[in-house]
Structure 1
Amino acid sequence: MRRSSLLNQEQDDTEVNLTPMLDVVFILLIFFIVTTSFVRESGIEVDPPQASTAEVQSQASILIAITGEGDVWVDKQPLALSALGPVVARLQAERPQSSVVIQADKSSRSGRLVEVMDKLRQAGVDKIALAAQQP
């Protein structure tokens, strides 16, 4: 009888307590989630023109890309120019403090850029910026 109680006591002493390790794992998970920065993308890679006076804009949350061929992309989706106004108006209603940044490829036509800006103004967007690279 004494021998079986001694074996049970040894088994209890050899168990590994995983609770502190799980606590540390969850704390690290929360840390990485909180410190992760999310980068917004327009959905297509463009080569913006260079400007020595380009400034970083912190509130740019709606990105519109214009490719060299004149295609318009918003939220990783190609859009027809006629659908641009309602889509951007909906996005801006969801995020009222956001501004719109147009990322036009340096080989795109300026006429296409003016058409996009006109559609945005018709949709009621008043905070519009153009993306450029610093040399």
Structure 2
Amino acid sequence: MRIRDHRADDEPEINLVPLIDVILVLIIFFVVTATFDSRSVLKLELPRATGEPNDASKALSVLVNADGRYFVDDREVLRDDLESLKSTLAEVAGNDRQRPVLLRADARTPHQAVVTAYDALGQLGFRRVMIATAPSPKAQAGEAR
């Protein structure tokens, strides 16, 4: 009786289906996370004004939404009091008080929230504060000519 070795008949195979599934999930994950934009998180309706836009690419961004909540760059201030805003501004900005600050407040923001932001910036020593506005409809119509 001849005893055969069945191991020689078994061909090793690599199943690619799980590998393709994992790669597709990773691609979808990276595509979705790459499209996140901090500006798309908050919907702000900026007040209208005429004037030339300034270059604010290096500015510290302070956002105030319609409910009066504060956001410094990409960090949300958990409470809406002056001390919390000052501590978050100090953490994000570090020791650089010469850095320009771009204050972006929703047009529907309570005036007290904007005053509190100005107060916190002034107490910390920031002197170069700009307010973000949207171009007025009249200015846009004049540019179209």
TM over 0.5: yes
**Could you tell me the TM-score, scaled by structure 2's length?**
0.56
Which position in structure 2 is the counterpart of 1:93? 94
**Alignment identity in percent?**
19
Deviation at 1:101, TM superposition (A): 0.8
Deviation at 1:131, TM superposition (A): 0.6
Which position in structure 2 is the counterpart of 1:114? 115
Q: C-alpha offsets along residues 4-61 of structure 1, whole Å, 9 cap, x if unaligned?
A: xxxxxxxxxxxxxxxxxxxxxxxxxxxxxxxxxxx98596331111101252223542
Structure 1: segments with no counterpart, 5+ residues = 1-38
Q: C-alpha offsets along residues 72-94 of structure 1, whole Å, 9 cap, x if unaligned?
A: 11122320232221222333336
Which position in structure 2 is the counterpart of 1:50? 48
Structure 2: segments with no counterpart, 5+ residues = 1-36, 137-145
Which position in structure 1 is the counterpart of 2:131? 130
Which position in structure 1 is the counterpart of 2:33? none
Deviation at 1:95, TM superposition (A): 5.1
Equivalent residue pairs, number: 97
Which position in structure 1 is the counterpart of 2:70? 72
**Which residue among 59, 62, 65 is the counterpart of 1:61?**
59
